[in-house]
Amino acid sequence: MWPRDPEDQATTEAQKAPLETRLEQAETKAEAVAQKLVADQGRGTVVEAVRQDRQAVAWARSAALGACAFCRLLAIRGAVFKQDTVSFRAHDGCHCMAIPVWKGQRFELSDKAKEWERLYREYAAPYSGDQLRRFRRAIAEHG
């Protein structure tokens, strides 16, 4: 956040920005971290409560509309997560969450997740090892 000598090669572009810009960026990052810490408490409470219920047979990820490509990829997988893999560690600013699927319940992707799945299959799935980058590009170009 603090300025450096613009002539110093170690100075990044962000450090060359005006102080007001750097303060705004620091505030945005701090808000994202705080949001994650608060939301993680709720996520953890839900996961731990559901772990004790034998009727919970699977988990799915619910990705928010503005979610990153990685979270969207996890969401389009559907209800494939098991109790021991449901930690759903979120990243800063992430509004995603784990959704329990109960015995006898049929899980279906949301309309938005179905569109993400279509984009993935069309633009990313055929390219082994490069899917995430291609999926990010497809989201940027096609919504």
Q: What is the DSSP letter of 81?
A: B
Cβ atoms of residues 47 and 86 within 8 Å = yes
Kindly list the domain boundaries of the chain, sorted by start residue. 13-142
Per-residue pLDDT for 19 more than 80? yes
**pLDDT one-digit tens code per residue, 50-82:** 778 888 888 898 888 888 898 899 999 999 988
**pLDDT one-digit tens code per residue, 29-58:** 888 788 778 877 777 777 777 778 888 888
Amino acid (1-letter code) at residue 82: K
End-to-end CA distance of the chain: 33
Per-residue pLDDT for 98 more than 90? no
